[in-house]
Amino acid sequence: MPLRSSSRPVALGMAVLIAATALSGCATPPTDPAQRAEFDRINDPLEPMNRAIFDFNQALDKNAIRPVAIAYRDTVPEFARDGLHNALQNFGEPVVFLNKVLQGEPIAAIKTLLRFMANSTFGLGGFFDVATPRGVVRQQAGDFGATLYKWGIGDGPYLMLPLLGPSNPRDAVGFAVDSVSSPWGYIVNIPTEASIGQFVFKGVDVRSRTVDATDELERNSVDYYATLRSVFRQYRQAELDGGQAPSGGDLYTDPAGAAAAGGAAAPAAAGAVPASQLPDIP
């Protein structure tokens, strides 16, 4: 018997609890570079499948996503791209607010709410970010994957997801929960086509901001798959631990741009860039 739409969050919640139980005993990655490389290799038991998906993502990126992202970057004025990026971020603030509440961070939740209210009104729906210049910055680690981490759930083995790129079971579950927890679909009857359009545009937006960094990373990698795996994990752990750059190196990355952005950017979206130049991507 098909699930009613109202019962889907309950079913999803049950799936989260099952996944959380399965992941709770996962090991914590070591900090020593040599041990870290070995951990990355061992903690990728699905590597043959992951590499096949990675090759698919790379082919899709090179033949479709990257050219579209470059065309978008080169034809749309910077102020318009920044405004649309701000609006996309503002659109996701309710989910950040919810996760900060679940993480037991009331101050961060209040800042997120104030930021959303200010940008939605004075910032014309978020096109202009009027909150950041006034010290109300966007809160990091505001996704449900980070919430599960706060609750003591390990990340599990490395996963390369179609379109979404580098991830793990905990963050994959988190992405699914965040997708259904956004209030817009419940408040406003958003057509499926509009949701897909937002999904794709977010991916193009993120990809357009990571093209140069990912190109550089790929050129300098002997094994791009392994490099991407390591860089993604280092960034994600740094983000979960407070947003500090990984120690022992100057490489940083956006967390697969795709998982948080909703999609189409993913094939190379964990591109390494200097920490000082890390773009403000959700």
- For residues 128 and 123, give the distance between their C-alpha atoms in angstroms, rounded to a whole number: 4
Mean pLDDT of 42-54: 93
Condensed to tens digits (0 to 9), the pLDDT of residues 80-134 reads 999 999 999 999 999 999 999 999 999 999 999 999 999 999 999 999 999 999 9
Inform me whether the pLDDT recorded for 266 exceeds 60.
Answer: no
d(CA 215, CA 228) in angstroms, rounded, equals 12
Lowest mean pLDDT among 183-197, 215-229, 241-255: 241-255
Specify the higher pLDDT residue, 266 or 164: 164
Q: Where are the domains of the chain?
A: 30-277
For the chain, percent of residues with pLDDT exceeding 70: 68
Q: What percent of the chain has pLDDT over 90?
A: 60
Band of the pLDDT at 10, cuts 50, 70, 90? very low
pLDDT at position 265 over 90:
no
pLDDT digits (tens, 9 = 90+) for 188-198: 666 666 677 78
Question: What is the token pair recorded at 22?
Answer: 């399965």
Supply 16's token pair: 């989260």
Beta strands in 174-255 (DSSP E): 251-253
Check whether 48 has a pLDDT greater than 50. Answer: yes
Which pLDDT value is given to residue 36? Answer: 59
Distance CA 138, CA 160 (A): 27
Instruction: Tell which phi-psi region holds residue 256, choosing left (phi > 0), alpha (psi between -120 and 50) or beta.
Output: left
Q: What are phi and psi of 139, to 5 degrees?
A: -80, 135
Tell me: the pLDDT tens digits for 49-86?
Answer: 999 999 999 999 999 999 999 999 999 999 999 999 99
Q: Lowest mean pLDDT: which of 42-46, 88-92, 202-206, 226-230?
A: 42-46
pLDDT of residue 84: 96
Reported as a pLDDT band with limits 50, 70 and 90, residue 139 is very high
Residue 44 has pLDDT above 50, yes or no: yes
Residue 92, beta-bridge partner list: none
Q: What mean pLDDT do residues 38-47 have? A: 79
